[in-house]
A and B are shown apart, each in its own frame.
Chain A
Amino acid sequence: MKRAELLAPAGNMEKMKMAFHYGADAVYLGGKVFNLRAGSHNFTEEELIEAVQYAHSKDKTVWVTLNIIPHDHETAGLVDYIKFLDEIKVDGVIVADLGVFQMVQENSNLAISVSTQSSNTNWRSVQMWNEMGAKRVVLARENSLENIALIREKVPGIEIEVFIHGAMCMSVSGRCLLSNYMTARDANRGDCAQSCRWKYSIVEGGKDNEGEYNEVLDGDEPTHIFSSKDLCTIEIIDKILDLGVDSLKIEGRMKGIYYVSNVVRSYREALDSYYSGEFKYDPKWLTELETISHRKYTTGFYFGQPDSEAQNYNNRNSYSQSHQLVAKVIEKVDENTYILAVRNRIFSGEKLEVISNTGEPKVITLPQMTQIKGSHEEEVEVSHPNTTVRISLDADISELDMVRRVLPEEKE
């Protein structure tokens, strides 16, 4: 059976490298223009060249997002950009708009993946894209396992990609302009204000102009009635893989390296277990996923239209976080000497965990640190974010390992 690829988000070069290191087969990323997640760092043209070369040197693939729904004046420069991407041998592009689709086809040989923003929820629309020459379709989130199985069966000639983890729109993707109407920030051009995450009251009324508006639920505080929980399918990953989809997508170009690495690693282990021929679900996969900052989890639409289980009523984001990334191992100088890039303040003597792309987390006690600033070195007990330190440690850790701290449990 052909193996599904694990596709990770790459908000910048560092995140891409971490994603590959932790087990992604492919990444998707955006240039500075023409894509959603306008708030992410994204890649300059030089960085795009470097990224593609890096990925290909490791036998991995890179997809570039061109997934906005552009207004006419925004299509200027797109043809040149498409030709550039084709030249530097990007593996494919992700598009949401029929006009952009046409421009890519007309001006390049780039493989095209149709974005979730195109709301593909049935086999006939997927078949249409197949006939038009798309290589792949990223299905809408509003697809049950059963629905996907039929699409797979009816359209064997096209690659199918599904989301397996990350934040979700509460609307059918691409069909929401709440942000446009409420804030003038365009959701379909990368600037969504996430209006669905604000607080709303439900009132009765609105039928005619005599109608009075009465609170439906007396005394009820405005609530995050639309806010969606985050998607997490680790517990049902075997059911998704049984479908024979081609690509598993993780959302999150704007999230940090700890999120990307941890999520990739958990699903990588699950995939490897599945493809070994003897899938065995390991509860520690979910435990690890819960160490990242996240909203509560839901399986979304995979089992049919979701109910209140998929919504996040109590708090706008309801992020819970049990662990905090404090540093990244950037160099192994020799057997016992390591250089760390500090991300959060750390203290000598504290107990930390080191996670790697394989194996169990290792517990270490952080020794005395030598802070390095250019040619200047200083022994310190505390080091702050954006500093670099050297430590001596008798533990087998590697470059690109991450160091984390267990956070005290939050009181309810």
Chain B
Amino acid sequence: MKRAKINAPAGDMNKLKVALKAGADSVLVGGEGYNIKTTSHSFTRDELKEAVKYTHKLNRELWVTLDMIPTNNELEGLDCYVEFLNEIGVDGVIVSDLGVFQVVKEYSNLKISVSTQSSNTNWRSVKMWHKLGAKRVVLAREISIKNVAEIREKVPEMEIEIHTHGAMCMASSGRSLLSSYMSTKEVTKSDDENWKFSIEEQTRPGEYMPVYEDEHGTHIFHSRDLCTIEYLDRILKLGIDHLNIEGRMMGEEYLETTVSIYREAMEAYYSDEEYKYNPEWLTRLQKVAPRKYTAGFYFVKPGEKTKDY
């Protein structure tokens, strides 16, 4: 049976090593520019070269995210950057925008994965991406597992990846919403740390939604992180190619725990013995979680809210 692979985030070189050691099959990093910056560190060109070497030595893959939705100006230099990534042997890139997709296709042979942000919710759009030359699609998160299964079935030629763990970006705005608001209060927004801010909706006390602002605008995250460890067998049964663990801003301990638990569960699934879910997996994940968990939209009925723990 075809085995799924784990795609883990690497916020910096140390985290990259941690993720690979914990059992990731591929790692995802962000370079300087062209991506939604959800962590304070961007891989410099030298670091990217080093990262590729290190990763390939272990026979794994290194992917770089180019998931911005750019204006014309923001496209500048992308062609050279893509040529550089191609040259140093990066395995693939993630894109959200058709224009970025076109640049990658024109200037390189890099494999292309289409981000969850591109809202692929049906098999026909996935098939179209295959026709356009994408190697992989990361499906939208807000679809049912049945829908995922149908896409898998109807588009066998395409690699399918789904989000299985991590923070979920709900909305991206081109506006600098935090700065704008604070400017009216004569407060300057500090750029020091990541994830410094959250928002709380008036009628939903206690649900804190992380908000992050970068040069592209504002990104609002869900108050809970995705965690599908309990349902991993149902996901693996579908023949998904890659499981995405999100979180370039995750600390090393959290990263190590998360990747190794999903690895352990996957090995248990693919072993000859009958698969048995271990509730300790969830307990250990909860111990390191920055937010409470939800199983997301995969296993709920239409019209129902996400399945929260």
**Interface residues, chain A, CB within 8 Å of chain B?**
69-75, 97-103, 118-129, 140-144, 147, 150-151, 170-172, 174-178, 180-184, 186, 188, 195-196, 198-209, 213, 216-217, 220, 222-223, 225-226, 228, 301, 305-308, 310-311, 313
> Could you tell me how many residues of chain B have their Cβ less than 8 Å away from some Cβ of chain A?
78
Q: How many whole Å from A78's CB to the nearest CB in chain B?
A: 9
Say yes or no: B99 contacts A122, CB within 8 Å: yes
Say yes or no: A121 contacts B71, CB within 8 Å: yes
Please indicate the chain B residues that have their CB under 8 angstroms from the CB of A225 in the complex: 177, 181, 199
Say yes or no: A183 contacts B197, CB within 8 Å: no
Say yes or no: A178 contacts B124, CB within 8 Å: no
Please indicate the chain B residues that have their CB under 8 angstroms from the CB of A70 in the complex: 121-122
Please indicate the chain A residues that have their CB under 8 angstroms from the CB of B86 in the complex: none
Can you offer 11 A-B residue contacts whose CB atoms are under 8 A? A72-B143, A98-B124, A99-B124, A102-B128, A177-B142, A184-B306, A201-B200, A207-B194, A216-B182, A222-B200, A225-B177
Please indicate the chain B residues that have their CB under 8 angstroms from the CB of A120 in the complex: 98-99
Q: How many whole Å from A125's CB to the nearest CB in chain B?
A: 4
Say yes or no: B74 contacts A72, CB within 8 Å: no
CA distance A126 to B149 in the complex (A): 32
Say yes or no: A199 contacts B174, CB within 8 Å: no
Q: How many whole Å from A203's CB to the nearest CB in chain B?
A: 5
The answer to whether residues A128 and B99 also contact, given A72-B147, A151-B72, A177-B171 and a CB cut-off of 8 A, is yes
Say yes or no: B290 contacts A209, CB within 8 Å: yes
Say yes or no: B171 contacts A198, CB within 8 Å: no
Please indicate the chain A residues that have their CB under 8 angstroms from the CB of B125 in the complex: 97-100, 102
Please indicate the chain A residues that have their CB under 8 angstroms from the CB of B21 in the complex: none
Say yes or no: B150 contacts A203, CB within 8 Å: no
* Contact of A188 (CB < 8 Å), options: B103, B119, B177, B306: B119
Q: How many whole Å from A209's CB to the nearest CB in chain B?
A: 5
State the total of A-B contacts with C-beta under 8 angstroms: 236
Q: How many whole Å from A326's CB to the nearest CB in chain B?
A: 36
Say yes or no: A172 contacts B71, CB within 8 Å: no
Contact with A along B141-184 (1 / 0, CB 8 A): 01110010011000000000000000010111111111111111
**Interface residues, chain B, CB within 8 Å of chain A?**
69-75, 97-103, 117, 119-129, 140, 142-144, 147, 150-151, 168, 170-185, 187, 193-204, 208, 210-211, 217, 220, 222, 251, 289-291, 297, 303-306
| Closest chain B residue, CB of each to CB of A301 | B174
Known: A178-B171, A204-B196. 12 other contacts (CB 8 A): A98-B129, A119-B97, A120-B98, A178-B220, A196-B171, A199-B201, A203-B199, A206-B291, A207-B196, A225-B181, A305-B175, A310-B175
Q: How many whole Å from B186's CB to the nearest CB in chain A?
A: 10
Please indicate the chain A residues that have their CB under 8 angstroms from the CB of B123 in the complex: 72, 99
Say yes or no: B119 contacts A122, CB within 8 Å: no
CA distance A188 to B118 in the complex (A): 12
CA distance A106 to B178 in the complex (A): 44
Say yes or no: B199 contacts A186, CB within 8 Å: no
Say yes or no: B185 contacts A220, CB within 8 Å: yes
Q: How many whole Å from B81's CB to the nearest CB in chain A?
A: 14
Say yes or no: A69 contacts B75, CB within 8 Å: no
The answer to whether residues A171 and B142 also contact, given A122-B72, A198-B201 and a CB cut-off of 8 A, is no
CA distance A124 to B168 in the complex (A): 28
Please indicate the chain A residues that have their CB under 8 angstroms from the CB of B291 in the complex: 206, 209
CA distance A75 to B178 in the complex (A): 38
CA distance A122 to B290 in the complex (A): 36
